[in-house]
């Protein structure tokens, strides 16, 4: 007898499919609700080959009340992953991102009033932090380290204090005040808070997981607004240099998708997680320039060095990487895949893939709208 039926909205996607594999291995039944949007899944919108055969796939939009009610039938818990993803694109497809992310979550929550579940886990994002946590030279913590447009136009990329002294980036904890720099960040914060407010009001144990830069196999390589490693991979297998904004020294936390799936399962099964928010990262940070060089080395094309744009993309931040102390203490979460190991696995997968390189198109779209400085 199985442990119960789990619904994953957006379950045919990158993270959802890996979570489905893990849950099936642990004895759960898994249903996925996914719209199979062309930007992610291609124009034919067919069931992905990588999606486990035991996943019950229902094709439907999270904004469709009837589709959501059907998907919730007989379900014990929900992972809400369905979302439009991409900082840059969100700045001009404002209605689309707000509709899918905010309204879609609202439709799901109203459906849960008719089809109650025992637990709700929502995928949030590190993007809601804006800049990460910083420390001044005197040791004071700085929650708000925004860079001015004038500073960025001068090519001065590092956040500074009032005297012009550089700030030291620190691991960002969940207690850091959100700073919403993009429509995407706002929509993810709304998704998170909608679910937590609903959970408190209706006594549904709810957990929000703030994912950092998730990477691994099955990412949508032809989507220029997906994760940075997938974009770099798409460029490299097409023998093009990775495009890096600013000077490439911005720092990020790259977490392997299998570790994210581990955190998700723990959020499902840990009673003390209810009502809480957790960072899900690796606890390490790398510069964007470093990861571009490492991936090109893994793929055997070290001569394809990163192209430094020397421009700022509206909505981006300088440094943000995870403090995962709370996830370790409450969930028992322990990242298991070292970045070097995960990158080698990603490179091996990339060698067998075909990708349409749309990075130049993305760059042109942003520049035409004045979204690069």
Active-site positions? Answer: 184
Angle at 136 between CA 254 and CA 372, to 5 degrees: 55
Beta-strand runs (E) in 62-105? 77-80
Q: Are 23 and 42 in contact (CB under 8 A)?
A: no
- State whether residue 30 is helix, strand or coil: strand
Q: How many CB atoms lie within 10 A of CB 118?
A: 12
How far apart CA 155 and CA 324 sit, in angstroms, is: 32
- State whether residue 217 is helix, strand or coil: coil
Residue 363 CA, chain-centre distance (Å), reads 21
- State whether residue 7 is helix, strand or coil: strand
How far apart CA 262 and CA 281 sit, in angstroms, is: 11
DSSP letters along 225-245, please?
A: TS-HHHHHHHHHHTT-PPEES
Any idea which residue has 């890096």 for tokens?
A: 244
Using CB atoms within 10 A of its CB, is residue 255 exposed (0-12), middle (13-18) or buried (19+)? buried
Q: Are 39 and 88 in contact (CB under 8 A)?
A: no
How far apart CA 16 and CA 254 sit, in angstroms, is: 17
Residue 167 CA, chain-centre distance (Å), reads 26
DSSP letters along 243-312, please?
A: EESTTS--EE-EEEHHHHHHHHHHHHH-GGGTT-EEEES-S--EEHHHHHHHHHHHTT-TTS--EE---P
How far apart CA 165 and CA 356 sit, in angstroms, is: 43
């Amino acid at each position: 007898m199985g442990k119960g039926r789990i619904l994953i909205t957006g379950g045919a996607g990158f993270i959802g499919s890996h979570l489905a594999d893990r849950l099936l291995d642990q004895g759960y039944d898994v249903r996925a609700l996914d719209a199979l949007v062309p930007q992610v899944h291609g124009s034919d919108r067919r069931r992905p080959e990588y999606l486990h055969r035991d996943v019950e796939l229902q094709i439907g939009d999270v904004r469709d009340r009837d589709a959501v009610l059907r998907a919730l039938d007989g379900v014990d818990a929900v992972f809400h992953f369905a979302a439009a993803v991409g900082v840059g694109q969100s700045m001009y497809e404002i209605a689309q991102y707000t509709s899918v992310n905010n309204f879609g979550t609202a439709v799901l929550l109203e459906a849960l009033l008719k089809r109650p579940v025992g637990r709700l886990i929502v995928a949030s994002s590190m993007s809601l932090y804006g800049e990460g946590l910083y420390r001044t030279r005197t040791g004071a913590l700085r929650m708000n380290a925004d860079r001015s447009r004038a500073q960025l136009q001068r090519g001065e990329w590092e956040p500074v204090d009032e005297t012009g002294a550089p700030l030291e980036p620190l691991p960002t904890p969940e207690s850091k005040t959100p700073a919403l720099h993009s429509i995407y960040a706002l929509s993810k914060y709304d998704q998170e808070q909608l679910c937590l407010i609903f959970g408190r009001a209706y006594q549904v144990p709810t957990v929000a997981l703030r994912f950092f830069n998730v990477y691994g196999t099955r990412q949508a390589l032809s989507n220029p607004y997906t994760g940075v490693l997938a974009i770099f991979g798409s460029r490299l297998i097409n023998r093009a240099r990775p495009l890096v904004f600013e000077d490439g020294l911005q720092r990020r936390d790259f977490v392997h998708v299998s570790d994210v799936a581990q955190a998700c399962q723990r959020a499902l099964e840990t009673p003390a997680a209810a009502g809480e928010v957790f960072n899900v990262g690796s606890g390490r940070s790398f510069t964007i320039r470093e990861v571009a060089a490492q991936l090109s080395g893994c793929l055997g094309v070290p001569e394809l060095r990163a192209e430094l744009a020397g421009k700022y993309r509206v909505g981006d931040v300088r440094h943000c990487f995870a403090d995962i102390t709370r996830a370790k203490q409450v969930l028992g979460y322990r990242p298991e895949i070292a970045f070097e190991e995960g990158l080698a696995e990603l490179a091996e997968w990339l060698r067998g893939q075909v990708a349409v390189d749309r990075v130049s198109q993305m760059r042109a779209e942003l520049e035409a709208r004045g979204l690069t400085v």
